[in-house]
Structure formats: C-alpha cells, structure tokens
Structure 1
Amino acid sequence: MNDQEQAPKRYLEIIQRANQIAATTQLDDLLDRLLDLIIEITQSEAGTLYLYDAATDELIFKVVKGSPAGEALLGRRLPANTGLAGYALQHRQPFFVNDVANDPRWNRTFGEMGSLDLRTMFCVPLLLRGEPVGVVQVFNGAFEAVDEQEELLLIDLLTSRLVTEIEKARLLEESQQRERRQHALVEIVSHLTTTLERDELLRRIMSYACELLEVEAASIWLIDHERNDLVLHIAGGENSERVESLRVPRGQGIIGHVIETGETVVVNDVQRDHRFYQGLDQRSGFQTRAILCVPLRSPQIILGGERGEVEGMIIGGSQALNPKHGRTFSNDDIVLFQTLASQAATVIRLAELYRETDSLFTRIIAAITGAIDLKDPYTRGHSQRVSDFSVAIAQELGLSREQIYQLRIASKLHDVGKIRVPDHILKKPGRLDEEEFAEMRRHPLYGIEFLRDNGLLELDLLRESWTALAQHHERLDGRGYPYGLKGEDISLFGRIVAVADVFDAITSHRPYRPPMPIDEALALLQRGAGTEFDPACVEALIRARAKGAILTQDEREQAIASQTME
C-alpha cells in the first residue's frame, strides 16, 4: 500500500482514537491521553500541556511526559505571555523551533525540561472559537513529522476535535468542585452551630476555611473595643500556635482596611500592595504571598422579649492565606469565604452574647451567695467551698460536663434558704435550742421556695439540679431532713453536696468550736459512709483531696497569703 493509500487509513485511526479519548469526562485523563497521542504523531521524546486561565491570564502546567524534573512543576502557574507557550497563544498558530535551547523566547528560569537535552520543539495552541484554551509543546521530534500540510492538518483536526471536550470536561470539573464545596459549606455551617465556646468555635472556623479553600493558613481578627485595636484570636495552619497573640492598630494592614471599610480584598501578590503589613510576617515567621480578606459582619439579631434586638455590626475580619498548588484566589473562593464569614460572624456574635449572659448569671449567683455570707459571717466562703468540693467529687465520679456545670451552680446556692432564717438564730454564738434548730432545719425548704418564687425552677439549669438545695441534709438511713428520704430516693446531687457540706462545716472555724483536723474529718466521713453518707461520694472526696483538688478554709487562706507575699 503506497503513502497516498495509507494516509486516509492513518487519519481514520487517529480520529477513532480521538473519539475514544473524547469519551472520557475526567479532565486529567483526557489531557494525559491527548498529549500521548500528539507525542506519537510527531514522533517526539517528551511533551507538556498547559491550560489557560482567562480569569487570571495565566497558564497552568497540567501534564508533562518524558521529563521527571518537570513533574515537580505540575500545578504551577505562569503569566500567559511567558516563553514559547505564551508566544503560541499570542499568535494563535502552531510553529516549529529547530534549536530550543538557544531560542530567546524559551523560558529557562522555569526549568520546565531541566532533565532533557533539548533540540527541537513543536508548539500547538489549543483554540476554541478562536479563543485560547491551552497550549501543547512536544520536544525533540523530527521536523519531517510536521513539515507537510497533511501532518499539520491532522494535528489541527485532532486538537479541534478534542478542544471542545477539554472545555466540557473543565466546566464539568469546575461544576463538580463547586458542588462539592457547597455541600462541604453546608456541612461546615451545621457544625459551627454546635458550640458556643468561643475559642473552640474560632478554631473550627479557621480549620474549615483552610480545608474548604485549600489554603496554607487562615486567621480571624476581632475588634478589641477597650484597647481600640485588632487582636488575632486564632490562626489556622501550621503556624497557629506562634501567632495567636498578635495585635495591630485599627486601620493598619489589609485586615485593618477591610474591617474599616467593609470591603472584600483579594491580593494575589501582597508585595505589590502598599497596605500589606510586613510586621506580621516578621513577628510570626509566616511568609504571606497571597491574601483573601473579608469582613466579619454580624447581622441584626432578634433576641425577643424586652431585650429587643442587637444591631448588625462589623466585629472583625477573616483572612485566607496562600492558596495551595500554585493557584491564585478565584471568584468561587471569594464567594465561599464570604458565605463562611457571614455565618461565622453570626455564630461568633451569639457566642459573645451567650458569654455575656453566662457571666451576668454567674455574678448574680455570686452576689446571692455573698449576701448569705454577709448574713452569717461565721460561714464566710462556705457556699463557694461547698461548690468547689462538690465539683471535685463529681469529677471523680465521672459526671458529664453539663452535669458538673449544673452542680456547680446548684451547690453554690445550697444554703440560699438561710436568707429567710432570722439573724438571731444564724448569728447565735452558742448551740441552738430545739425551736431554733427546727427553724434552721427549714432552710432547704426556704431555698426551694426562693427559687420557685423567683421563677428560677423553670430554668433548664435548675430544673434537674434543685435537689442539691433540697436534699443536702438528707441521710441514707432516713434520719435526715427536711423530707426524711432514704437511700436511692436521695438524688446523686443531694448525696454529693451532703458530703461536701459536712466536710467543709467540720474543717472550718465556728464560734463554738475550732476546725477538726483533716485526718479526723475524713475518718468521720468514712464512719458515716453507708448510713449517713453515700460511700462512693466519700471515697471520691478522699481521692480528690489526695490530688490537691480540695483545700480547707485555713489552707485556702494560707495559699492566698503566700501568693500576696510573692
């Protein structure tokens, strides 16, 4: 068969192989097989394939064949006017170079084919309706393989057939990636709303931002209104522990500009932006190349009731730093980060409101217990110590964090009913008579009435833990007060506070007796275990005491005195 007869057959084989390649929807596989086929047609030793990013006017190094050194450059970006590949895009025509190494248009600094002895190169722009999609370069091929019009026509036919498929595959990949990121964002937002602990919340936000945007690090800056500056609370990435305490004046740096103006700023080369604050990199050891910075804008939050609403405001800003894989920030990155920042700002603001409310609640409880201490000076600090002892016992028993928090508050209020006990009984220096003692024994009931009259029993916090007030003078043998409950009828909270209460009472100063020595106090509790006290709670107190978690009144005062002297 002569050459004229073989040519149509060869064309048909090439087109059939092109159709097989076009059947794949995986972009990387399509590009890989296209480059293989062009290398085969041109009888070349090696080749590279770039895709063109119109948004940034850059070429992305996607495939390399025949040069192991070039594989390290995959994913790298370079300006679209760089080197011979850039020349091919500008002129929209394929061309052959006889001596690549000495061609002034060849970009040697890129090191694209550093492991190959370069001789010739054939460069083909990939065009779709006249617009660039990418560039193929093949090296060390024979000039005869592309010197005839038929050969060039075949390559043009091949690339024209597949460039449409490349664009389809790229659009499909971008769509799939966008869909994956949107699903990930929905999942992230759902996880953000599961905590109101601020530091944990900030860590989650930055961790999710690094993962979602594929960046080296991310950070959150919040406005410190007291010091009128910006403080970096959390930074994601490998350098997070080294940069948590950084501060910058308001308005300084790109982050300061974003917070002051409410604008989103993208800088893919921070060295060219005069707003970039060099001091942060110098202090943190982190090298910033590119930055995407968005404001944290908390919306108006309707609180309901008499509280009304909290007005919307910018509470800080968030940064994503250095996209991975040599890429730049895209429009999709911006939209995703803005959405994440919007959700994050809302949850951060709710966390701050929760913290303020929790702090107010804790201070009110402290004020109530302080009023009890003022009423009965002989038991100064008793409520706080019983609360601390109860928490230590609960921790030894393995209670959950939620239960321990409830117990901490309820045990601190265990003697709140003493507010209704007359002063002449509370402050009596000697022992009480029967009538006085009967009145004193009513203080658990008075405490429950106090909670009920003030609507506190309706709170979830005290709905289950009120037994710490009502039952801390009950005994396992049923000889306690005010209800005479026995054994398991006494709640765990009641049994815990009973042990903590007695231990503090017998180891503290009273007007009618000195504190009992520690060994005797622990022995007294052990003797009463099983009849008066819950044995597990007694043993838990002893273990906590051995670990230094329980200090008596005198020991606490001595510790405070030592700290003051230091």
Structure 2
Amino acid sequence: MDTTNCELSLMTQKLLETYEELTLVYDLISRIGGMLDLTKVFDEIMDEAVTTSKAKWGGILLIDELNVNGKLELKASKGVDEIPQKLIEYSCEKGLINQAIREGRSIIGKEMDVFVMVVPLRLKDKQIGVIYLGDKIDGDSFYSTEMKLIETMGFIVSFVIENARLYISLQQLFFSAIESLSFAIDEKDPYTHGHSKRVTQYSLEIAETLGLSEKEKTILRLAAVLHDVGKIGISEAILHKKGKLDYEDWEEIKQHPMKGVRILQPMEESQGITAHAEIGFKDIHDIIAGVRHHHERYDGTGYPEHLCGKDIPFISRIIAVADAYDAMTSDRAYRKGMSNSDACLELKSNAGWQHDPAIVKVFLRLKETEL
C-alpha cells in the first residue's frame, strides 16, 4: 500500500510539473510568440524567469557575433539591484557562464558566494548566449525543477531569436530591392542620374550641422534614399518627357509620394523589426512619413495633405530643401541646371513659404563654404 501511495505521489508530482511547464509554454508563447521586437521579448522572459525561479535578479546575455573573442553582451536584466557587474565579468571569463557555454549544459552552482543558475541558449546546435539567474530570495540553491522551467524558457527565446533574425534577413532584402528600384529610376534618365544619392548626401550634411543623433541620421538616410520610390508607379513617358510637363502630367507626378507610401507599407506592418538594429516600429512610421510629405510646402500649399510649418515632419522638411536644390542644379531636357549661387538665391527667396527657413539657413551656410 505504501509503495502504491509513493508511486501515486511521484506520478502526481510529475503531472504537476508537466502541467506547470505546459502552462508556462502556453503563457509565454501567447505573449511573445508573435513578437519580433527582441527587446520586448527579453524583458518578458526576464520577468517570467525571475518570478519562476524566485531569484533576486536575472539577465540574458548573448554572444556578440562581430567580436572574434565571442564576448557576451547583457541584453536584458531584471531584479532589485540588477546583476552585479563583477560577478558577470568573473562568470563570463572563468566562472559558470563560461563553463555552461563550453559544455553546452545548464548549471546550478555558487560563485562569489552567490547561488546562481546558468541556462545556455542554442540556435541549431550553436551556443548563442545564456539566461543567468542569481541570489535566490530564500537564500537557498536553485532546484532542478526550476532549472527545467528556465530551460523551457531558453528554448522559446532561441526560437523567437531565430524567427526575428530570419525576418531581419527578409526585410534587408526588401530594403535592398526597394533601394535598387529607387536608384534604377534615377539611372534610366540621364537628367536624374544619381538624384536620390545626392539628395541623401545633402540631407545628411544638413543633419550633421544640426547635430542630429546617429539614429535620426539613419532614419533620414533611409527616407532620403526612398523619397522618390513612388515614381516606380508613374508613367515613363511623363518621367522622361523632353519638354515641360502640362497640368495632367503634374497631377500624375503629384501621386508619387502616396505611391511610395503604398510600396513601403509592408515595412510598417512588420512590427518594426528591420535590418537596422537601432530602428524600431515608430521609426519605420517616421521613414514612411518622410517619404509621404517631402513635397509639402511650409505655407501649406504643397501636397499630398497641405501640411504647413512644423506640422510637416522634420525629416520631410530637410529632404524638401535637398530635393529642391538638386532639382535646380541638375540639367533637364528643356533647360540647363542652375549654378550653386543661383540655386542658393532661389532657396533663400523660397524660405518661409516653400521651405523651413531654419533648414534653408543651415543649407545655405553649407553651400557658402563651397563658393
């Protein structure tokens, strides 16, 4: 009878552990299964890992693939005092993190007088990092049952990382294809040869003078490169017309910002994961807004939405100045391009009604140095 009761007790315990594990898997996948923003994924995992293991702190460390020494970088942390930096350094260099990665197995142990748990993360049999937990609330060592649950989390994290990386690769192809198409439009016509590249260069020169951050410059660069991508949907007969455009031609040309938005829309619908690690969902929205509004005018007479003043996105106002300057200084079939000085005079006269006067002032200062 005692043997039977013991067996039933063990079976009950195993069923409870299995139920707990399945519940954890279900809850985590329902919360992060569709996420592509790894920062949010890591934060969710750390919340769950610290709670489940009853640790005071925890972190996710990933191997930096660009570092030849395979250095680990802390990507997320959670806890009262966060992870002690000296403990991380020790564990990575010659402690349990180092051992777990070398041996490819989870470890429960003690280092620098702190009970810790290390669970390696794998992608296709390749070690990519660890979940590191320590200083249990009750002061005891971690249990194997807790380690099993954290290993389950590790499997889910690895799956989501792989999913995100695959998506990044696909989106990188998307960016490259769209950029190639944008440049191809320029190259088809000798009069617009290199236009998008020059607009990007001028825009970044303005951004540098204004002291924009690296992230802001990345967003601006992408918007500038893609600002005319909507011309893919404009008749070549109009784009390559030898004479001046008539009213109907202009009405079609004015559709290109919105056509560009429709081409780029899949990026915005992708939850913000891009080939550029520093670019997120809101930033993609800003890139598309930059494309949409680069033909707005400061007095509200532009298109497509007649925005005016500071309601026009900042990067659109920068691109508008760069675009106008390049259009004026480039040859056309029906006219010779303006000189730098004449184009600058035109920009100056258009400041305040067509262009943001502050941006024009910065650009003119840049161009004066070239005279």
TM-score, structure 1 as length reference? 0.40
Report if the CA contact (8 A) 1:198-1:352 is conserved. no
**Counterpart for residue 382 of structure 1:** 199
Structure 1 residue 211, shift from structure 2 partner: 2.0
Give the residue type in structure 2 aligned to 1:354. Answer: Y
Aligned to 2:282: none
Residue 42 of structure 2 corresponds to residue 202 of structure 1: yes
Displacement of 1:363:
3.9
Partner of 1:231: 72
- What is the rounded CA distance, in whole Å, between the counterparts of 1:522 and 1:189 in structure 2? 53
Specify whether residues 415 and 181 from structure 1 end up closer, same or farther in structure 2 by C-alpha distance, changes over 3 A only. Answer: same
Q: How does 1:338-487 map to 2 (within 5 A)?
A: 338-371=151-184, 375-377=192-194, 380-382=197-199, 411=227, 413-416=229-232, 420=236, 433-434=243-244, 460-461=266-267
Q: 1:259-303, CA deviations, whole angstroms, 9 ceiling, x for partnerless residues?
A: 233212111x33xxxxxxxxxxxxxxxx561121122123xxxxx
1:122 counterpart residue number: none
Q: Which amino acid aligns with 1:336?
A: L
2:355 equivalent to 1:523: no
Letter paired with 1:208:
E
CA-based RMSD of the aligned residues comes to 5.7
User: What percentage of residue pairs aligned between the two structures are identical?
Assistant: 14
Which residue in 2 is equivalent to 1:155? none
User: Residue 444 of structure 1: CA displacement?
Assistant: 6.5
Q: How is 1:20-419 mapped onto 2 (pairs within 5 angstroms)?
A: 183=23, 186-226=26-66, 227-234=68-75, 235-240=77-82, 243=85, 252-267=94-109, 269-270=110-111, 289-298=114-123, 311=124, 313-371=126-184, 375-377=192-194, 380-382=197-199, 411=227, 413-416=229-232
Runs of at least 5 residues in structure 1 that lack an aligned partner in the other structure: 1-128, 130-167, 271-286, 299-310, 390-403, 427-431, 526-540, 562-566
Contact 2:181 2:232 in 1 (8 A): yes
Ranked by relative contact order (alpha carbons within 8 Å, sequence separation 6 or more), the top structure is 2
Contact 2:186 2:196 in 1 (8 A): yes
- The answer for the alignment partner of 1:49 in structure 2 is none
1:376 counterpart SS class: coil
Q: How do 1:536-555 residues align onto structure 2 when only pairs under 5 Å count?
A: 553=363
The alpha-carbon distance between structure 1 residues 265 and 378, as it changes in their structure 2 partners (threshold 3 A), is closer
Q: Residues 499 and 329 of structure 1: is their aligned pair in 2 closer, same or farther, counting only changes over 3 Å?
A: closer
- TM-aligned CA distance change 1:192 to 1:474, over 3 Å: closer
Q: Quote the offset at 1:466 in angstroms.
A: 9.5
Counterpart of 1:399 in structure 2 is: none
Contact 1:218–1:236 (8 Å) recurs in 2: yes
CA contact (8 A) 1:216 1:322 kept: yes
- Could you tell me whether the CA contact under 8 Å between 2:224 and 2:291 is conserved in 1? no
One-letter code aligned to 1:230: K
- Note if contact 1:251-1:260 (Cα within 8 Å) is conserved in structure 2: no
State the structure with more CA Rg: 1
Partner of 2:343: 514
2:304 and 2:179 map into 1 onto residues whose CA distance is 32
**Could you tell me which amino acid in structure 2 is paired with residue 254 of structure 1?**
L
Q: CA deviation at 1:336?
A: 0.9
Per-residue deviation, 1:346: 0.7
TM-score, normalised to structure 2, is: 0.57
Aligned length: 306
Q: 1:231/1:466 Cα in 2 relative to 1: closer, same or farther (>3 Å)?
A: closer
